[in-house]
């Protein structure tokens, strides 16, 4: 039986929050294991030196050293960069700034990153859910017609969890068609794994394109929670109005500035080359395995596949191997494997081999 306080909270909650299904992150599942390949984290770790700046003072809301370093890295002007608490805050800022509650909508292409939906639901903004197939295969006029009157159109590129990639020409054409009616938000959390496909170069010609970036993936700083929203100043000016007064801590700014040094960017790129090579090896193993029905070809530091039998996931857990199960296309036998280091991927190979060994062959007879 609930307390009176429980009833009070429920009475005060807006309906959209009471009905909200929170985002379930890989780390929220409270699993146990020894090898973690479920959250698209980098296997690399680097030590950073803290400067010992006085923490009794509030930080620079937008640390200029970091803004300048990131603008140099991506090739835009500093005034085209807003630093946020992960790219997730950029998503939330865009919805909160440009969408009116109970009136406006956003468009997404499912299956895709779950925080677009959660953010829309949180702000009581309608969701126009279109398909990845439409985005990848449809004509631009068809896509934009189905987008309807959505204020924001989110394109996760490369897409999570499928790895699918939309070309720059198509993004540009969609932005041109939606000029004056919608912002095209290109979420590039995984773009360092295919940097030549970035939409950042389109900012010069399309005022309604926004690019979201993060240091969580290729830069191996998932624990720092640092992201960037890139756009023209006409878009960023209203975002700055609603941004929290001090969104970036002194410690975070200090580490981010170090991560964006010339030497560390070069190190990140070498690590990306290694991870891309390891990913190719993993894809080969998966394609050759009798335990796997389908492997999605795509970009990013992960591979998504369909298993012949989802009981294979339980076997992985028994071996201490934690990967991310998904329900995709109405089927619950999908799995996303983050690209770990060589030793971690050898454990994936051992798991795959165990699935089709003499003890488990019966699982996969069809």
- Give residue-wise pLDDT tens across range 52-105: 678 899 999 999 999 999 999 999 999 999 999 999 999 999 999 999 999 999
Closest CA to 98 of 304, 266, 237, 197: 237
Q: Span 148-163, mean pLDDT? A: 98
> How many residues in total does the chain contain?
366
The predicted pLDDT at position 50 comes to 85
Q: In angstroms, rounded to a whole number, what is the distance separating the alpha carbons of residues 147 and 174?
A: 10
Closest CA to 328 of 356, 289, 295: 295
Closest CA to 199 of 222, 219, 183: 183
174 band by pLDDT with thresholds 50, 70 and 90: very high
pLDDT, the chain, mean = 92
Cα→Cα distances 106→119, 167, 183, Å? 10, 21, 10
20 band by pLDDT with thresholds 50, 70 and 90: low
Residue 231 makes CB contacts below 8 A (sequence gap 6+) with: 80, 203, 209, 210, 211
Residue 216 makes CB contacts below 8 A (sequence gap 6+) with: 41, 86, 87, 189, 222, 224, 225, 226, 227
Cα→Cα distances 93→3, 84, 241, 242, 243, Å? 35, 9, 10, 7, 7
Question: Could you give the strand order of the β-sheet that contains 292-295, starting from the edge strand earlier in sequence?
Answer: 35-37, 321-328, 331-338, 302-307, 292-295
Q: Is residue 24 exposed (0-12), middle (13-18) or buried (19+ Cβ within 10 Å)? A: exposed
The predicted pLDDT at position 238 comes to 97
- Give residue-wise pLDDT tens across range 297-355: 899 999 999 999 999 999 999 999 999 999 999 999 999 999 999 999 999 999 999 99
Q: Span 263-274, mean pLDDT? A: 98
The predicted pLDDT at position 365 comes to 41
Q: Span 276-294, mean pLDDT? A: 97
Residue 211 makes CB contacts below 8 A (sequence gap 6+) with: 185, 186, 188, 198, 199, 200, 203, 229, 230, 231
Delineate the domains of the chain, giving CATH numbers in brackets: 7-43+275-357 (3.90.1150.10), 64-263 (3.40.640.10)
What DSSP letter does each residue of 277-306 carry, written as one string? HHHHHHHHHHHH-TTEEEE----SSEEEEE
The predicted pLDDT at position 26 comes to 52
**Percentage of the chain surpassing pLDDT 90?**
85
51 band by pLDDT with thresholds 50, 70 and 90: confident
Between residues 165 and 28, the one the model is more confident about = 165
* pLDDT beyond 80 at 23: no
- Give residue-wise pLDDT tens across range 123-137: 999 999 999 999 999
Q: Span 164-180, mean pLDDT? A: 98
**φ/ψ (deg, to 5) at 302:** -160, 160
- Three-class SS of residue 39? coil
- Give residue-wise pLDDT tens across range 25-37: 555 555 678 899 9
Asked if 357 and 351 count as a contact pair (C-beta separation under 8 A), the reply is no
- Give residue-wise pLDDT tens across range 217-245: 999 999 999 999 999 999 999 999 999 99
User: In 173-296, which ranges are E strands?
Assistant: 183-187, 209-214, 227-230, 292-295
The predicted pLDDT at position 33 comes to 84
**Percentage of the chain surpassing pLDDT 70?**
91
Q: In angstroms, rounded to a whole number, what is the distance separating the alpha carbons of residues 209 and 211?
A: 7
Q: Span 272-300, mean pLDDT? A: 97
The pTM assigned to this predicted structure is: 0.92
The DSSP 8-state label assigned to residue 41 in this structure reads -
Q: In angstroms, rounded to a whole number, what is the distance separating the alpha carbons of residues 35 and 181?
A: 46
The predicted pLDDT at position 362 comes to 40
Q: In angstroms, rounded to a whole number, what is the distance separating the alpha carbons of residues 331 and 294?
A: 12
């Amino acid at each position: 039986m609930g307390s009176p306080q429980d009833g009070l909270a429920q009475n005060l909650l807006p309906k959209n929050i009471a009905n909200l299904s929170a985002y379930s992150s890989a780390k929220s599942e409270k699993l146990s294991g020894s090898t973690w390949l479920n959250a698209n984290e980098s296997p690399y770790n680097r030590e950073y030196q803290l400067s010992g700046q006085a923490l009794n003072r509030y930080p620079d809301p937008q640390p200029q050293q970091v803004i300048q370093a990131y603008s140099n890295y991506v090739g835009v002007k500093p005034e085209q960069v807003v630093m946020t608490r992960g790219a997730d805050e950029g998503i939330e800022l865009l919805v909160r700034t440009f969408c009116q509650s109970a009136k406006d909508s956003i468009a997404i292409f499912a299956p895709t990153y779950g925080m677009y939906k959660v953010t829309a639901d949180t702000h009581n903004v309608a969701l126009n859910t279109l398909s990845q197939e439409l985005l990848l295969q449809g004509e631009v006029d068809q896509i934009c017609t189905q987008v309807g009157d959505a204020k924001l159109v989110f394109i996760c590129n490369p897409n999570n969890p499928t790895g699918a990639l939309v070309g720059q020409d198509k993004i540009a054409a969609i932005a041109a068609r939606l000029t004056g009616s919608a912002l095209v938000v290109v979420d590039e959390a995984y773009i360092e794994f295919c940097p030549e496909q970035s939409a950042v170069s389109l900012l010069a010609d399309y005022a309604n394109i926004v690019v979201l970036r993060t240091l969580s993936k290729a830069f191996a700083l998932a624990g720092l929670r640092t992201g960037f929203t890139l756009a023209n100043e006409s878009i960023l000016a209203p975002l700055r109005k609603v941004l929290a007064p001090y969104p970036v801590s002194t410690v975070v700014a200090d580490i981010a500035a170090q991560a964006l040094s010339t030497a560390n960017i070069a190190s990140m790129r070498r690590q990306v080359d290694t991870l891309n090579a390891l990913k190719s090896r993993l894809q080969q193993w998966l394609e050759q395995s009798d335990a796997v029905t389908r492997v999605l070809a795509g970009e990013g530091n992960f591979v998504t596949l369909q298993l012949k039998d989802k009981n294979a996931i339980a076997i992985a857990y028994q071996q201490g191997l934690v990967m991310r199960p998904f329900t995709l296309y109405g089927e619950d036998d999908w799995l996303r494997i983050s690209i770990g280091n060589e030793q971690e991927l050898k454990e994936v190979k051992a798991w795959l081999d165990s699935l089709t060994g003499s003890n488990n062959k019966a699982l996969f007879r069809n």
